[in-house]
Amino acid sequence: MAKINYLTLHVVCLLALALVSSPIYADEPIDYFFNGAKSYKAPYAAVLPPAQKIKELKKSSLIDSEIKNKLDDILDGVPSGGLGVLAINNGEIVYERYARSNEKNLYPSWSMAKSITALTLGYALCDGKIKNLNDLAENYSEDLKSTVWGKSKIVDLLTMSSGASRKTLDKTTGDYHPHNPASLHYILKSGQISLKEAFIKYSKLDDANPSGAIFSYNNMDTQALSSVIEGATGVSFPEYFQRTLWESAGAQFESVWYLDKNKQALSSAFFFSTMRDYGRLAQVVVDAHQGKLSNKCLETYIKDATTHKRSAGGNSWYGYQFWLGPLKQNAPIVKMVGHQGQEIFINYKNGKIIVLTAHTSALREKYRDPSNLLPWLLN
């Protein structure tokens, strides 16, 4: 198996400029706070190679004009706001467009990484590395010992129900803001604090709730999941992700995880991949629901992960780090959702997938309109 490269991001950037074979990172506008792996100076990153066996993702000979018109309208509706769109139907690309780049660019996942982390945990469970989702997280991770996250059940971490403090927590982004405007995410990726230190620090706040009591969107719940995976498997999260989900997806291009100063993955947001490989990751969810995986345990886990578990307020529901619509609609659609316009829609019944990347959440006003993408997804 090809090895992961653990490099400072400065070196990664130099290699990207020097070598044609290196990944080309998405070139977002300079006024966008998260500038992507090319320009944001995160100290550490893990570069993952493509899968050993790349899964073919054919381009259909016919463009689906219905979804083309809808996605073009979304991209063109907010000038310079959209980065790319991709539509897949039954394993074939039926439309693909990039605003300023091409299919080799790596785009930030932001919180879509949460869903990816939850899928990776499913492999650890089915590999027998994790015995039961009702186990306490600290049974697997030394970094979580005696913290509010360590005292949580793994299943409660999966559903954003750790009970961790909500003091200075932004309920929309899931990020703590101890020193405005510097968020916990910022000081983690800049190397000012490690994840281990953050688990301890934010466990000392005095307004915690019992594990499983309430839904509270919190990036550190996801970080605790990757810590569990590392402790259970004995390898780094990026390495285990590469061995399992990345290989199962048959990824075609390199990808990147940002790391903290102790070289632990910032699994709640900082994954960078191509549009097509995001589509391949989403296809794993479709294949699980359609009984096409060779691992029946994993099929069961993914089906469970993409069902309504917790009300997230309003019409939104949460599964295992996946977003779902109203319970009463019972539509076969789940979403991987990221900050400022990143979103993947998955209809696991008919195999339709839409991947959108953007640098402004203004696009959501268009694509979340029920009359826009849903008719195509459900048809």
- Judge contact between 132 and 182, C-beta under 8 A: no
**Residue 353 burial (C-beta neighbours within 10 Å; 0-12, 13-18, 19+):** buried
- For residue 7, the model assigns a pLDDT of 58
- For residue 177, the model assigns a pLDDT of 87
Amino acid at 352: K
Percent of the chain at pLDDT > 90 equals 70
Residue 119 has pLDDT above 60, yes or no: yes
How large is the average pLDDT for residues 160-184? 87
- Work out the pLDDT band at 362, boundaries 50, 70, 90: confident
Kindly tell me the sign of the dihedral angle through the C-alpha atoms of 167, 169, 170, 172: negative
In tens, the pLDDT along 197-227 reads 999 999 988 888 999 999 999 999 999 999 9
- For residue 327, the model assigns a pLDDT of 84
Its pTM stands at: 0.92
How large is the average pLDDT for residues 244-256? 95
In tens, the pLDDT along 5-35 reads 765 544 343 333 222 334 444 544 443 333 3
Higher pLDDT, 360 or 139: 139
In this structure, what token pair is assigned to residue 155? Answer: 């299943």
Higher pLDDT, 110 or 15: 110
Q: Give the closest residue to 360 by CA, choosing from 78, 7, 5.
A: 78
- For residue 330, the model assigns a pLDDT of 82
- Measure CA 221 to chain center: 13
- For residue 210, the model assigns a pLDDT of 94
- For residue 33, the model assigns a pLDDT of 33
Averaged pLDDT of the chain = 89
Kindly tell me the sign of the dihedral angle through the C-alpha atoms of 305, 308, 310, 311: positive
In tens, the pLDDT along 306-358 reads 999 999 999 999 999 999 999 878 899 999 999 888 999 999 999 999 999 98
In tens, the pLDDT along 39-84 reads 445 678 898 999 999 999 999 999 999 999 999 999 988 877 888 9
